[in-house]
Amino acid sequence: MLKMATVACAAALVTLPVLAAEPTPAPAASPPLAATGAFNALYVADAPRLADWYVKTLGFTVVKQGTISAPRVSAFALLRKEDTILEILQVRTPPTPGPHDQLKLQDFQLGVAKIGFYVADVAGWEKTLADRGAVFNHKLVTSPDLGLKTFAVRDPEGNTIQFFGK
């Protein structure tokens, strides 16, 4: 049943259609999750160096890069590989956790723990990265929990990049 309701929105009053509460039908079966891309952002010490590594080692292309005058960020690089976007942010000072963050600074590094990519040819990527001199966290193994093969490498600043595939 469609009803009209007046909602206060910022400084204006807006009249919106509102559905009356009715029993929610059981959801249809979910289709398989098929993410076609990703967005990741890294805080780094040297954005141009890391951008160069991601271009030469993983085949990203530079969309845009340069310097900025922001309170915490001095340089950036925006990279893309197919449907995956990687933003590299060079920090002036390490970011500090906000009041909602539940982490102990002495136990964890700030920033991203790791980034990951799902690839069609995981064994091919492992060989390619070995040929390009990548530093491995671990070689190709099968994850019994996920039923996927996985390996991980480190970029020059120590960030872990994990690859998954069949």
Please tell me the predicted confidence (pLDDT) of residue 75.
Answer: 92
**Position 131 in a domain:** yes
CATH of the domain at 133: 3.10.180.10
**Position 65 in a domain:** yes
**3-25 confidence digits (pLDDT tens):** 444 434 333 434 444 444 566 56
**Position 122 in a domain:** yes
In this prediction the pTM is 0.58
Q: Comparing 69 with 34, which gets the higher pLDDT?
A: 69
C-alpha–C-alpha distance, residues 109 and 102, integer Å: 13
Number of structural domains, the chain?
A: 1
**Position 49 in a domain:** yes
Give the residue numbers spanning the domain of 148. 38-94+111-165
**44-88 confidence digits (pLDDT tens):** 889 999 999 999 999 999 999 999 887 778 899 999 888 888 989
Question: Which pairs count as long-range contacts for 144-148, CB under 8 Å and 24+ apart, including other chains?
Answer: 148/122
**Position 23 in a domain:** no
